[in-house]
Structure 1
Amino acid sequence: MTPKDLLLGLAIIFLWGFNFIVIHWGLNDLTPMMLGGLRFLVIAVVGSFFFTRPKTPLKWIVVYALTLNFGQFAFLFTAMTFGMPTGLASLVLQSQAIFTLFFSAMFLKERVRAYQLLSITVAAAGLAIIGLNNGDTAMTVLGFAITLAAASSWALGNVVTKAIGEKGYDANLNLIVWACWVAPIPFFICAYFIDGSDVMLSNLLHINWQTMATLAYLSIGASIMGYGLWNYLMSRYSAGTVAPLALGVPVVGLTMAAILLDEKVVAWQWLGIVLVLLGLMMNALGGRFFNSKA
């Protein structure tokens, strides 16, 4: 990468890593479903001025929105309100790479290679260590399990994205933005039945500048700018060069959570964190290594 593009890559890592801290702050003012619905509504409204509607059929836009947008963030935001620490959430969510391999093999009949099986085993061992050693931390088993559900939804969204591409449609920023018109619908429906209309109205009436700044960061910063820069790098370099940058996201998330939120991680969980990152790195870089040996 050129120095300029490397700086853009570092900007993405910070935008997405700090994103979890902003989510934590946002959940202090809004319920999980209201935060999700308003986030994607802002993306849709702002983004539609800059990106044209994709030619992707509506049914695929809906499936994309329900998995990658609604499913992932409804579970993630809920998990963070049920005892999933912000820093660990940024790491455990990256287990989507493991679930993506599994779902790709199941639904797309993609072959799983030996190095991928090894990377899955290593990362899964790390997740097990994190989940089983929560006695001295704020993490709950329920929060951990719901975060895994969020990662699974992200993985299903990845499979949907691949399927859209295989059918000859573009899975680019146009799709990302316009799918955001769909996501607020299930978010607000869930908010009505889970929170009640009075809580929904209270959330809207008590929006202040801090809430607006949170929504602006989550929608414009982390989503539109983050994915825009990511797609730019993907268009200039191979996936094997760009994808490993995502490994920096949980590093930023864990570090910022420790500094700003005073979150603690016990020694055994640090071992699990190292194993998860090692497994993700093996998965991201293994193809390049083994292909070079072929």
Structure 2
Amino acid sequence: MLRTILITLLGPMLWGSTYAVFTEMLPVEHPFFVGAIRALAGGLVLLAINPRIPRMATMGRYAVLGTLNMALFFALLFVAAARMPGGLAATLGAVQPLVVIALSSVLIRRLPHPVQVGAGVAGVAGVALLVLSPSEHAPDLIGVLAAIGGTCSMAVGTVLIDRWGRDGKPLEMATWQLILGGLILLPVAWAKEGLPPLPDAQALAGYGWLILLGTAFAYYVWNRGISRLGPGAAYLALASPVVATLIGTIWMGEIFSFWQWIGIALVLGAIATGVSVKRRAPVDPVPVAAN
């Protein structure tokens, strides 16, 4: 069990490095393109591991999920990463489990536990401290909106997975969400940003890290771990904002105010509390459509 937890933890830890790798090694003026390449190339690597093509009905659902969880999420993630400190962007993105809890009560009528309601309130307070606290480095409004928008997009996709049921194994789901999300985002990136400059050695190393370790390997160990540990292991995702914050403060010299540190602690504590409580069963289960 401990070995599985430690291996699973590698996924969020690698995700936490995404912000620094993007801003220091990749073309920050092409966030959509970087998101498309990350999704498509990472998905193709996973497809080589698990070369299975799902049914058309399942593929349609993967396309919807790929749009929400990969295309929109990756695009907005890199917009946020380009405009604000990585630790702040990662912490704002980490409120996604709390958004999922709120959406679940509406879309699938799964009432939250009272403790989860309290965690949600604490999480909102933490986000307010992060965004509104006086600081020499006030967060960029577009960056904040992008981080929150990406969080909400992935939260909707997560709830849809819960509503539709898991079509296939977790690795297959991750593979085709990445591939289809990348294919959807690529023409948007081309139209909006054009081609980025030819990558130099530093950019190639950044793409290699992001695609092979930060996407293919990270998603593989994450999905493998969640399938063995259960959904309660979602608290391990807290490693992502923690790593991003440590990299930002130690390596990149990012500075947060006292109240922003309080906000980060509130958000992380709220998420750890919220996802550790067992969810209630749906009040009136919604029939799952046939594949």
The aligned counterpart of 2:31 is 32
* Structure 2 letter corresponding to 1:155: A
- 8 A contact 1:53–1:175 mirrored in 2: no
* Structure 1 letter corresponding to 2:273: M
Give the deviation of 1:110 after TM superposition. Answer: 1.4
Give the deviation of 1:85 after TM superposition. Answer: 1.2
1:10-66: CA deviation from partner (whole Å, max 9, x where unpaired) = 433421222222232344366001101111221233222221123462220110110
- 8 A contact 2:26–2:207 mirrored in 1: no
* Structure 1 letter corresponding to 2:248: A
Distance 1:54 1:217 in 2: 28
What does residue range 1-294 of structure 1 map to in structure 2 within 5 Å? 1-2=1-2, 4-28=3-27, 31-51=30-50, 52-55=52-55, 57-81=58-82, 83-137=83-137, 139-165=139-165, 169-170=167-168, 172-195=170-193, 197=194, 200=195, 203=196, 206-240=198-232, 242-287=233-278
Moved more, 117-126 or 21-30: 21-30
Change (3 A) 1:106 1:188: same
Structure 1 stretches of 4+ with a deviation exceeding 6 A read none
SS of residue matched to 2:277: helix
Moved more, 274-283 or 168-177: 168-177
Change (3 A) 1:106 1:237: same
Report the identity percentage: 25
Distance 1:184 1:12 in 2: 20
Change (3 A) 1:66 1:246: same
Distance 1:181 1:274 in 2: 35
Distance 1:112 1:185 in 2: 36
Give the deviation of 1:226 after TM superposition. Answer: 1.4
Give the deviation of 1:180 after TM superposition. Answer: 2.5
Change (3 A) 1:248 1:44: closer
Give the deviation of 1:74 after TM superposition. Answer: 1.0
Give the deviation of 1:284 after TM superposition. Answer: 1.8
Give unpaired runs (5+ residues) of structure 1. Answer: none
Change (3 A) 1:54 1:30: farther
TM, length-normalised to structure 1: 0.86
Give the deviation of 1:6 after TM superposition. Answer: 4.0
Give the deviation of 1:134 after TM superposition. Answer: 4.9
Give the deviation of 1:184 after TM superposition. Answer: 2.6
* Structure 2 letter corresponding to 1:90: A
> How many residue pairs end up in the alignment?
278
Give the deviation of 1:245 after TM superposition. Answer: 1.5
Distance 1:54 1:164 in 2: 15
Change (3 A) 1:13 1:186: closer
Give the deviation of 1:278 after TM superposition. Answer: 1.4
Give the deviation of 1:216 after TM superposition. Answer: 2.2
* Structure 2 letter corresponding to 1:93: G
The alignment's C-alpha RMSD in Å is: 2.2
Distance 1:40 1:191 in 2: 13
Give the deviation of 1:255 after TM superposition. Answer: 0.5
The aligned counterpart of 2:285 is none
